[in-house]
Structure formats: C-alpha cells, structure tokens
Structure 1
Amino acid sequence: MASLQDQFLKAGLVDKNKAKKLHQDKTQQKKVERRTGSESVDEARLAALEVQRKNAERARELNAQRDAAAAQKAVFAQIVQMVQTNRQSKGVGDIAYYYTHGTKIDKIYVSAEVQKHLIAGRLVIVCLDGKTELIPRVIADKIAERDESLVVRVKKASTEVDEDDPYAAFQIPDDFTW
C-alpha cells in the first residue's frame, strides 16, 4: 500500500518539490527536538484527538438515551401485559361510577357488585391508552410501582369532622349518587 504522500503525488494534488520540502521540514523539526529534548505540539493531532473525544462522549449520551427509551418501553409492555391478564369484568350494569383521573372527572358504568368492590378498594381503575380497566388492588400496586399516573386511587372518605364545618351535623348518605 502506498503512503498518503504517494497517493497525493499520483492524483496530482501535490507536486514532487512540495512533497520533498515537507519531508525535509519534518526531519529538521525532529532533529531539533532531539537536540533540545523538547517535544513540539502537533496541533492537527491534538485537534483530531479532541474531535474524537467529543464524538465518543456524544455516542455515550446517545446510547444512554436509547437504553432509557428501551427500558421505558419494556416497563410499558409489562404494564400492558399485567392489565390484559388480570382485568376484571365491569359487569352488566347501569350504575354510573364517578372517579377523578388527574384533573378530569370521568365515569364508567358498572354493576352493583362491582361498585361495592370499587368502594371497598378490592378493585382499582387503571387508565391505559384511553381505556379504563378494572384490576385487583394487588396488581394495581405493582403497576403503580412502575407508573403511578396510570392507576386511579379511590380516596376513602374521612370520618374526622372539622370543628369549623357548619355542615357537620348534616350527614351525606352512602348511597348518594350525583
């Protein structure tokens, strides 16, 4: 294999005199370095090393982002699989069950038995890809470990009465529907 200098000469990019002059300058510089004991700084080499370091750093960042995206996708796949294998029937009913998901109030129609399970906390609502599914609380806890935003928690009514509440004497019945 020919050297780079020979390739440039053959391509006509450099003439023979210029190549000879560069070779002489290089050997003279090496001779001076040996005599003085100091090394000259090769700026092109340093620039190339800097570019190589930056490229390696950028490649590491891209790999970290790619790995994070793959891990997130794998977690979502686990959640989807848990929901599909453990979803419960909503029952054939016309009872509207209202719940809040984030800032939105939504409702699903369930049977009376399913409503009792939801109120008791045995069943939990999971919102996944715009669909609502009912799953057991144990599975919902596992999903919440992976992504809390998908699980709708039903807050139990507090039995404590505020001292300043003017409506404390008026109790709301349990079977109250909106």
Structure 2
Amino acid sequence: MASLQEQFLKAGLVNKGKAKQVHQEKAKQKKDERRAGTQSVDEARLAALEIQRKNAERARELNAQRDAAATQKAIMAQIVQMVQQNRQSKGKGDVAYNFTHDNKIKRVHVSPKVREHLIAGHLVIVCLGEATELLPKVIADKIAERDPSLVVQIKKASTEVEADDPYAAFQVPDDLMW
C-alpha cells in the first residue's frame, strides 16, 4: 500500500517539490532532536491516546452498570422463584391482619390460625409488587438478605416496661379488640 504522501501525489493534490520540502523539514527536525537529546511532542498522538483512554474508561463504566443491572435482575428472579415455591395459604380470610409496609398501613385477610402464626413469627409477609404473600420465616430471611425492602418486619410486643414510660401503671387487657 502506498503512503499517504504518494496517494496525494497521484491524486494531484500535492506537487513533488512540496512533498520533498516537507520530507526535508521532517528529517531536519528529527536530526535536531537527536542532537539536543529532546523529543518533540506529537500533539495529535497525545490527543488520540487521551481519547482512547477516555473511551476505555467509559466502556468500563458502562460494563459495570450492565453487570450491576444483570445481577439485580438475577436476584429479583431468585426472589420471585422463592416466593412462588414457598408461599403459604392465607386460609379462608375471616380475620383482617393489618401491617405497615413503605409507611403505609396495609391489610391482608387471613384465617385465625394463620394470624396466630403471623403473630408468633412463624410466617412472614413479603410484598412483591402489589401482591402480598405469606412465607415461612426461614425463606423470608433468605429474601431479606437479597432485598430487605420486600420483607415486612413485624415487631413483637415486648413485655418489658420502659423506665420512663408514663403509662407503665396502666395495663391493657389482652382481649381488647380494636
């Protein structure tokens, strides 16, 4: 393949005299650099290297984002699979069970036996999209490791009285229904 200079000569864009003059100036510049012991800065080459470095950095960032999205998608698929395989029946739905999720009070209708399991902590509520599912605590713990925002944390009522509680002397009856 012919050099760019030869291609310009054949196309008639440059004459032989101009090509020879450029060649002589280039040789003279290289000779001067060898004598002085300095190297000329090739700005075009440096600019190309800088652009190449920026493109490589951008490609790394995009790959990292793509990998993170793929990882998140795989985790969500695992969660959906665990929910589908381990969901428990809510029963006949006689009793309304209220819980809070994302600072909203939500309600699920369950049987009295399922309600007891929820209160005891054997079953846990998992909100997947708009659906609420009941799962065993072991499975819910595995889901909470992957995405804790999906699992509804039910706080057990403590029987201990706080030291500065002004209502400590007033007992709430156990059979009180709201």
> Is the TM value for this pair above 0.5?
yes
Q: 2:72 aligns to what? A: 72
Would the alpha carbon gap of residues 35 and 162 (structure 1) be closer, same or farther in structure 2, given more than 3 Å must change?
closer
- What secondary structure sits across from 2:92 in the alignment? coil
Give the superposition deviation at 1:9. Answer: 4.2
Q: CA RMSD in A?
A: 1.9
Q: 1:101 aligns to what? A: 101
- What secondary structure sits across from 1:70 in the alignment? helix
Which stretch shifts more, 55-64 or 34-43?
34-43
* Distance in 1, Cα, partners of 2:68 & 2:129: 21
Q: 2:138 aligns to what? A: 138
* Distance in 1, Cα, partners of 2:94 & 2:111: 7
Give the superposition deviation at 1:111. Answer: 0.5
Would the alpha carbon gap of residues 18 and 97 (structure 1) be closer, same or farther in structure 2, given more than 3 Å must change?
farther
Q: 1:147 aligns to what? A: 147
Post-superposition Cα deviations, 1:135-177, rounded to whole Å, max 9, x if no partner, equal 0000000111111110001100011123444433433344544
The answer as to 2:14 corresponding to 1:25 is no
Would the alpha carbon gap of residues 137 and 10 (structure 1) be closer, same or farther in structure 2, given more than 3 Å must change?
farther
Q: 1:122 aligns to what? A: 122
Letter in 2 for 1:91: G
Would the alpha carbon gap of residues 126 and 175 (structure 1) be closer, same or farther in structure 2, given more than 3 Å must change?
farther
* Distance in 1, Cα, partners of 2:97 & 2:72: 32
Q: 1:45 aligns to what? A: 45
Which stretch shifts more, 24-33 or 86-95?
24-33
Q: 1:15 aligns to what? A: 14
Letter in 2 for 1:6: E
How is 1:165-176 mapped onto 2 (pairs within 5 angstroms)? 165-176=165-176
Would the alpha carbon gap of residues 10 and 148 (structure 1) be closer, same or farther in structure 2, given more than 3 Å must change?
farther
* Distance in 1, Cα, partners of 2:173 & 2:6: 96
Post-superposition Cα deviations, 1:98-117, rounded to whole Å, max 9, x if no partner, equal 00112111110001111010
Percent identity between matched residues is 73
Give the superposition deviation at 1:26. Answer: 1.3
* Distance in 2, Cα, partners of 1:89 & 1:117: 12
* Distance in 1, Cα, partners of 2:74 & 2:8: 52
- Aligned residue pairs total 177
Q: Which runs of 5+ in 1 are unaligned?
A: none
Post-superposition Cα deviations, 1:75-126, rounded to whole Å, max 9, x if no partner, equal 1111111111111111112210000112111110001111010000000000
* Distance in 2, Cα, partners of 1:171 & 1:9: 103
Structure 2 length-normalised TM: 0.89
